[in-house]
Amino acid sequence: MKPKDLKTAFSWEQREPLIRDRVFHVPNFYQEHGRYPLLSFEDPQVFGNENPVCIEYCSGNGDWIVERAKQFSHLNWIAVEIRFDRVRKIWSKIKNEKISNLFIICGDAKTFSDHYLPAHCIEEIYINFPDPWPKRKHAKKRLMHPCFVESMARILKFGKKAVFVTDDLTYMHEAVNSFYKNSQYTPSFPQPGFINEVKDYGSSWFETLWRKEGRTLYYTQFSRSPSG
């Protein structure tokens, strides 16, 4: 299957949340998300089983999560990506490599998390190289705001981890501060709250690119506190 074989799910006028062929389409600029039920992982259109579920936000072309899904086949994996052209590439990999434990969300990360996931349903969260939007005027577009950190606390199981990776040191400091300010998390690393290497973490398109350019990478990890 080629990426272009995945067709647009709906027209602008007819847009509504729907699952089609391993992809859950969550429309943008839509005000009626509350009308729809929470996602059921046991639904045959999703995973059809009760295995633990891990999620990656900003999945890009899907290189990292596809390899994780193949390596850890006893887990279910959700790839969240807002850009349809990238969703197509992930979908193509799922089809061509016959991966049954990977499901795609085409839509906004916070909208999906707030409206379609039950509380404390996610085993592990990964946020890999989201756009840092380095200009101050674009800061509101950054994913790792305190409100998203709060959203992750709602869906993450107690005692389980959220991992954030970036090549932008300023963005890392902002994200770590957001985690520290939220009493529902416990840091995994000592001050300054992040490290530069994680063994066997896996590679993505951006990870490979930034390493080739000689950039330093930053990893942070926080666990969901058992109370709060």
Query: Among residues 63, 114, 131, 200, which one is catalytic?
Result: 131
Q: 107 and 79 in contact (C-beta within 8 Å)?
A: no
Q: 6 and 88 in contact (C-beta within 8 Å)?
A: yes
Q: Which amino acid is at 103?
A: F
Q: Which residues contact 139 (CB under 8 A, 6 or more apart)?
A: 133
Q: Is 63 a catalytic residue?
A: no
Supply the residues annotated as catalytic: 131
